[in-house]
Amino acid sequence: MALLPLDPDQLLTTTRAVRRRLDFSRPVPAELIRECVAIALQAPSASNVVTMGFVVVTEAAKRQAIGALYREVYAVYKASPAYAGRQLQDQERAAQQARVARSADYLGEHLGESPALVIAVNQGSDREQALAGMGSVLPAMWSFMLAARARGLGTAWTSMHRAREQEVAELLGIPYDTVVQAVLSPLAFTKGTDFQPARRPEPDEVIHWEAW
């Protein structure tokens, strides 16, 4: 499949969290997922050891079970002070946060309908070591998402299912004692491919030149 005509900066600035524009009606070919994983494996990893893994779920019953669990965790988040729709510092930001909240609400209801779910994991000799090495799976997952975007696929980084991680581990046969689930993302073709850069702070708001 041809890649979208995006230069590196366009790819990096238009890979959005896609939720309402996921096309649930179109299956994602396994070969495309393999390509994304091959690219993800080029990401940096501690000691150049591959401890990360990608659990890809396409079976409907499993997706629905994960979706139901995510819906429950999302309901708890929605009632909490951390809910995106409650982060209303100023008017412009409030409008942006309201959009994010609406979009996240949608995923809360529909995650399990995505044709594929991808769980990025990190493995260790025990759970503590697997957790300590999480830095090895996060860059890989972001690379996966960039590679997906280049192929017309949408993803959305989520991690709140970790509140019920053990149940997902049991459902999928993931060894809970040695494998930590870092990220859960839907994976689907997007409805249209015209994603735009988002409003973000100016660089100097976050750069600390020479010292804090």
Ligand X SMILES: Cc1cc2nc3c(=O)[nH]c(=O)nc-3n(C[C@H](O)[C@H](O)[C@H](O)COP(=O)(O)O)c2cc1C
Q: CB of residue 157 vs ligand X: minimum separation in angstroms?
A: 4
Q: CB of residue 193 vs ligand X: minimum separation in angstroms?
A: 14
Instruction: Return the amino acid letter for 96.
Output: Q
Q: Which is nearer to ligand X, 39 or 160 (CB)?
A: 160
76 binds ligand X (CB under 6 A): no
Question: Tokens 């524009």 label which residue?
Answer: 21
Q: Which is nearer to ligand X, 117 or 156 (CB)?
A: 156
Helix (H, G, I), strand (E, B) or coil at 73: helix
Scanning residues 137 to 176, which ones bind ligand X (CB under 6 A)?
A: 156-160
Q: CB of residue 53 vs ligand X: minimum separation in angstroms?
A: 19
Q: CB of residue 145 vs ligand X: minimum separation in angstroms?
A: 10
Burial 71-81 (b: 16+ CB within 10 A, else e): eebbeeebeee
Q: What is the C-alpha to C-alpha distance for residues 49 and 33, in angstroms, rounded to an integer?
A: 22
198 binds ligand X (CB under 6 A): yes
Q: Which is nearer to ligand X, 2 or 15 (CB)?
A: 15
Q: Long-range contacts for 89-98 (Cβ within 8 Å, ≥24 apart)?
A: 96/199
Binding residues for ligand X, how many (CB under 6 A)? Answer: 12
| Phi-psi map region of 192: left, alpha, beta (phi>0 left; psi -120 to 50 alpha) | left
Q: CB of residue 125 vs ligand X: minimum separation in angstroms?
A: 25
Is-contact 137 51, C-beta < 8 A?
yes
Site map 7..46 versus ligand X, x via CB under 6 A: ---------xx-x---------------------------
Q: Which is nearer to ligand X, 124 or 186 (CB)?
A: 186
Q: CB of residue 1 vs ligand X: minimum separation in angstroms?
A: 23
CA torsion 66-67-72-78 (nearest 10°) is 130
Count helices and strands in the chain by DSSP H and E runs? 8, 4
Site map 88..127 versus ligand X, x via CB under 6 A: ------------x---x--x--------------------
Helix (H, G, I), strand (E, B) or coil at 22: strand
Positions touching ligand X (CB under 6 A) are 16-17, 19, 100, 104, 107, 156-160, 198
